[in-house]
Amino acid sequence: MTTLVIAEHDNQQLKPATLNAVAAAQKIGGDIHILVVGGGAQDVAAQAAKVAGVASVLLADAEHLKDFLAENVAEQVLAVAGDYSHIVFPATASGKNVAPRVAAKLDVAQISDITAVDSPDTFERPIYAGNAVAIVQSSDEKKVITVRVTAFDGVAAEGGTAEVKTLQAVADSGLSSFVGREVAKNDRPELTAATVVVSGGRGMGSAENFKLLEPLADKLGAALGASRAAVDAGFAPNDWQVGQTGKIVAPQLYVAIGISGAIQHLAGMKDSKVIVAINKDPEAPIFGVADYGLVADLFTAVPELEKAI
């Protein structure tokens, strides 16, 4: 039994999500290999080789793999899939994009977003926006899995001494091509990896007012997040969205400001260690999950809080 973990990276840095996926693979048991698919990603492979508990690193490096197009990446995974009992992806935008394509080609059902490993064929995963937890058993010979990264503590990034093996890259599918990328500028910690998250909702009122959260986030060393309502209203960029349809976070401290607490939002943050809610509506459902609630006008409470910390 050997598990293949597909690395999440940007051709320069191995992303922490990979370490969480390796942690899930450890719970499955057996040897763990990491596959790095990219273009100019030798450094990433070297970083992957140092990850604790990894037996081997496979590198497929080619110009047409640089932009992680699903058709090419899936073919590359399939090229080695025969050697593995489990193929594990972090449940990131890129993992979710590729994993089902791999599963379908292997004719196996995929198990999405697992939060626990009960045995090598039995896993736990949230359904209905996290309102229920299902324990599911796969009857397929190979398991293709995506891992909810916030549910597993990442393994150490250092300490391993795996060997890097270079694979022959698969041919370009020619089905798709990369056009461009618009990266949201952000000096803050990455939302899914941050230990503190400060999120704003519709109650912020405008994109201008959203800036009110910045001094508070700066002081706490926090990432900024937003509810779907705030994103839809144009107050915050899309990739800040926390929720069932956005990012899933589980920081030490989550501060929800002007957020009512719709089911879809709670699905993205209710596993945070401590939740603080600031809302002027005492009936807001967010108070049902908050450890500490403050019923107050955010426009006075937020600056006050920033000063008091």
Partner 1 sequence: MKVLVPVKRVVDYNVKVRVKSDQSGVDIANVKMSMNPFDEIAVEEATRLKEAGTATEVIAVSCGVAQCQETLRTAMAIGADRAALVQTDVELQPLAVAKLLKAVAEKEQVNLVILGKQAIDDDANQTGQMLAALLGWPQATFASKVVIEGEHAKVTREVDGGLETISVKLPAIITTDLRLNEPRYVTLPNIMKAKKKQLDTLTPEELGVDVTPRIKTLKVSEPPSRKAGIKVADVAGLVDKLKNEAKVI
Residues of each annotated binding site = 202, 227-228, 241-245, 258-265, 279
Q: With binding defined as CB under 8 A, does residue 132 bind partner 1? A: yes
What span, in angstroms and rounded, lies between the C-alpha atoms of 194 and 184? 17
Detail the residues annotated as belonging to a binding site for FAD. 202, 227-228, 241-245, 258-265, 279
Q: With binding defined as CB under 8 A, does residue 19 bind partner 1? A: no
Please state, as a whole number, how many other Cβ atoms lie within 10 Å of the Cβ of residue 299: 15
Phi-psi region of 42 (alpha: psi -120 to 50; beta: other; left: phi over 0): alpha
Give Dmax over CA atoms of the chain in angstroms: 60
Residues belonging to the chain: 309
β-strand partners of 111: 145
Q: With binding defined as CB under 8 A, does residue 9 bind partner 1? A: no
Q: With binding defined as CB under 8 A, does residue 35 bind partner 1? A: no
Contact segment (CB under 8 A) with partner 1 among 36-44, 91-99, 151-159, 164-172 equals 91-99
Phi-psi region of 74 (alpha: psi -120 to 50; beta: other; left: phi over 0): alpha
Q: With binding defined as CB under 8 A, does residue 207 bind partner 1? A: no
Shortest Cβ distance from residue 110 to partner 1 (Å)? Answer: 5
What span, in angstroms and rounded, lies between the C-alpha atoms of 219 and 72? 43
Contact segment (CB under 8 A) with partner 1 among 52-60, 155-163, 198-206, 238-246 equals 238-246
Q: With binding defined as CB under 8 A, does residue 294 bind partner 1? A: yes
134/156 with CB nearer partner 1: 134
Residues 57-86 that bind partner 1 (CB under 8 A): 67, 69-71, 74
52/147 with CB nearer partner 1: 147
Q: With binding defined as CB under 8 A, does residue 178 bind partner 1? A: yes
> What is the bridge-based pairing of β-strands 116-119 and 122-127?
antiparallel
List the one residue out of 149, 147, 157, 152 whose CA is nearest residue 49: 157
Q: With binding defined as CB under 8 A, does residue 107 bind partner 1? A: yes
Q: Return the residue of 63, 159, 232, 281 that touches partner 1, per CB under 8 A.
A: 232
- Rg, Å, the chain Cα set: 21
Residues 247-286 that bind partner 1 (CB under 8 A): 247, 252-253, 263-264, 270, 273-276, 282
Residues 36-55 that bind partner 1 (CB under 8 A): none
Residue 101 — φ and ψ, nearest 5°?
-65, -40
Q: With binding defined as CB under 8 A, does residue 168 bind partner 1? A: no
Q: Which residues of 121-139 are buried (b: 16+ CB within 10 A; e: fewer)?
A: bebbbbeebbeeeeeeebe
Distances from the Cα of 273 to the Cα of 154, 255, 308, angstroms: 17, 11, 22
Q: Return the residue of 82, 175, 187, 283 that touches partner 1, per CB under 8 A.
A: 175
Q: With binding defined as CB under 8 A, does residue 290 bind partner 1? A: yes
3/264 with CB nearer partner 1: 264
Q: Return the residue of 97, 164, 209, 218 that touches partner 1, per CB under 8 A.
A: 97
279: amino acid identity, one letter: N
Contact segment (CB under 8 A) with partner 1 among 23-31, 51-59, 96-104, 155-163 equals 96-104
Q: With binding defined as CB under 8 A, does residue 12 bind partner 1? A: no
Asked if residue 288 lies in contact with residue 261, where contact means CB atoms within 8 angstroms, the answer is yes
